[in-house]
Amino acid sequence: MPNLTEAEIVAKLVGYASDQAHSSVERAGLLGGVRLRLLPADEDTYALRGDTLRQAIQKDRADGLIPFYVVATLGTTCTCAFDNLEEMGLVSEQERVWLHVDAAYAGSAFICPEFRPLMAGLHRADSFNFNPHKWMLVNFDCSAMWLRDPSDVVDAFNVDPLYLKHDQQGSAPDYRHWQIPLGRRFRALKLWFVLRLYGVANLQAHIRKQVALAKEFEQMVRADDRFEVVAEVVCGLVCFRLKGASNEPSEALLKKINGHGKIHLVPSKVRDVYFLRLAVCSRYTNSDDIRQSWDEVRTQADEVLAGK
């Protein structure tokens, strides 16, 4: 838009994400000073679909805005839902907007071939990130980012005064140009050690074991007709609640469980439905822990439903 000033262009920029995207996506929009549309995810799968994205982009273009950025989430925080990346990637390509893939939690699962169909369409992405500290045995913090063309980011952040220049400039990536801060810690070493110590086969075994443990807990929940599973269990997260139209029993159950101190669960809410989330993350977790966790949930549910 050659007739607009830079300030006018920024005022018209608009990005898109699912209403199930992580809060950091919305925060990034606030930090960047741009609009961010949180689009409704599918009612059943909690996944953002391509048609929803296309309609939003076309409407904003018709209203004189400039769509420029899309975030697809693979493994949402609330339910570990997977946006339809194949559809969203095609729309992003056709509409010529940047597609970022946020796989912060579930990205570690892609080390296993059986989970890779969940990232179908990744070849259309402009950037991708996942957090090895969430599920790949790396200590906090460690976030890995891939860029199709790093120059897009480097050119945006490149401020290169004389006092920062050196003779070896250009011989290796200079990550001060990849980020807002100038300095950075050496985060890569701990990831390197995990990869060297465990190897691919053991990391795959770690992921598979934790998914199997989550499936164990899911079966226990489904076997108790007082409970329901809220979302499909794909990775290591089980979302469940006490049946009924009211959220109050599940809210009371969470307070009981966390107050008792044997296990700690974190809640969430989707479409005004409140539920509890059990996440299998520790490499020390085993079937006994899962059974004990379920026994604790069941014991506290007995008290809640008895009105104690």
Decide: helix, strand or coil at residue 273. Answer: strand
Beta pairing, strands 144-147 & 127-130: antiparallel
Q: Crossing angle of helices 85-95/50-62, nearest 10°?
A: 20
Q: How many CB atoms lie within 10 A of CB 262?
A: 13
Decide: helix, strand or coil at residue 137. Answer: coil
Contact 74, 107 (CB under 8 A): yes
For residue 149, say if its preceding peptide bond is cis, omega within 30 degrees of 0.
no
The residues that are catalytic are: 22
Nearest in space to 289 (alpha carbons), one of 200, 185, 210? 210
SS (H, E, C) 59-113: HHHHCCCEEEEEEEEECCCCCCCECCHHHHHHHHHHHCCEEEEECCCHHHHHHCH
Contact 178, 157 (CB under 8 A): yes
Phi-psi region of 244 (alpha: psi -120 to 50; beta: other; left: phi over 0): left
* Interacting residues of 136 by C-beta distance below 8 A, sequence separation 6+: 108, 111, 194, 203, 206
